[in-house]
Amino acid sequence: MNLLTNEIRERFPKMYETRNQGNPMFQVKFFMPWTTRRWYGVEFDGRDVFYGWVAEVVTEWGYFSLKELEHVRGPRGLRVERDAYFEPTPASEVEIRLSTN
């Protein structure tokens, strides 16, 4: 699966455009199918770097790399995937779901 389609790339705000928004929109969700790790992209530099919500061992706002996600390999060759059914969602709605899981 292509982690980032042209359609999804085009809807991303540029880096730092949403910094003063209290409830930015998550544009995409990536996940590791063999763990609970998830990444929600809010902004994209157009090449490699996202800013968004990172749900790993600790959940926090931060930066993550498309290239790094593309190179991760799990058991039996599993890869990071994009949630094909994820629709742009306000951050507050996702954070609520994260905190209740």
Largest CA distance in the chain: 42
Domain count, the chain: 1
The range of the structural domain enclosing residue 12 comes to 6-100
Burial of 13 (0-12, 13-18, 19+ CB in 10 A): middle
Distance CA 25, CA 73 (A): 28
The answer to whether residue 64 is domain-embedded is: yes
In-domain check, residue 1: no
In a domain, 39, yes or no: yes
| Residue 55 belongs to some domain of the structure | yes
73 in a domain, yes or no?
yes
Confidence of residue 69 (pLDDT cuts 50, 70, 90): very high
Query: What percent of the chain clears pLDDT 90, i.e. is strictly above it?
Result: 77
pTM over 0.85? The answer is yes
Give the distance, in angstroms, between the CA of residue 90 and the centroid of all CA atoms in the same chain.
13
Residue-level pLDDT at 46:
94
Of 61, 66, 71, which is closest to residue 49 (Cα–Cα)? 66
